[in-house]
Amino acid sequence: MVDFAFLDSGTGGIPYLTYLKRLRPDASCIYVGDTANFPYGEKTHEQIVKCVLNVISRIIERFNPKAIVIACNTMSVNTLDVLREAFPETHFVGTVPAIKLASAVSKKRRIGLLATSSTIKNPYNIDLKNHFASDCELVLRADPELISFIEKKSFTATEEECIKAVTPAVDFFKKSDCDVMILGCTHFTNLAELIQKVSGDQMKIVDSREGVCKRALSLVNEDDKTEVAESRLFITGFENESDKSEYDVICKRFDMEWGGKL
């Protein structure tokens, strides 16, 4: 048994695990990237549900986590209800666009949402907007190319290459007169500081790490420890065997142990 399991379509959601570990360093965590089915953002609802149910079953069988964080907006908006019905004994915490936080800091009342195609199209975002930001204009942008860059290249890329990758999205929202950009895909949090740097003072960058991690921590008894405080990275498959070297870089960067294929 571990305290927390994190699931994403790839390695993009690792900043959520590292944020939780800053809040509770003694937590035992495993992170699973469903790399065999990456990317999720272009899949249908039915495909997403099928893939997530399969991986979650394997996570629960092997690790029996006290709580599972779905560290992916696309997975969350498509599967949370299904997961809670299928696994009623397990605590699930979803990751949804930080529209409430964006509304709290926006002065122009024009908010940008950068996400996957699936998340952009999901009506859940409109519900969030109507509930938390009814007086705001929500500007949408799907960016599968940036997500692919972050998953496959960013961890070994130069800062110049990363700036070039994020600039089209930043320019899009600036031209749309937004003063807040929501990182609506967890992959983007890997470059959050750089995106803020490129945006300058004109636009505030927000994401849901704090809210998600505090919610997850509230579900697990801090005194009920089961394993040593460690973080392990697992994936579901390699696109190429040479990708292993990239995972070694990721593990070193985030102080994680390599777990191998789930």
List residues with catalytic annotation: 72, 185
Q: What is the DSSP code (8-state) at residue 7?
A: E
Burial 118-133 (b: 16+ CB within 10 A, else e): bbbebebbeebbeeeb
3-state secondary structure of 6: strand
- Does residue 47 contact residue 36 with C-beta atoms inside 8 Å? no
Listed residue (181, 196, 168, 147) closest to 11, CA to CA: 147
Residue with tokens 């860059």: 149
HEC readout, 109-144:
CEEEEEECHHHHHCCHHHHHHHHHCCCCEEEEEECH
Q: What does DSSP assign to residue 72? A: -
Q: Sheet holding 67-70: strands in order across?
A: 91-93, 67-70, 4-8, 29-33, 231-235, 257-261
97 HSE (CA, 13 A, CB side): 37
Q: What is the DSSP letter of 161?
A: H
3-state percent helix, strand, coil for the chain, nearest multiple of 5? 50, 20, 30
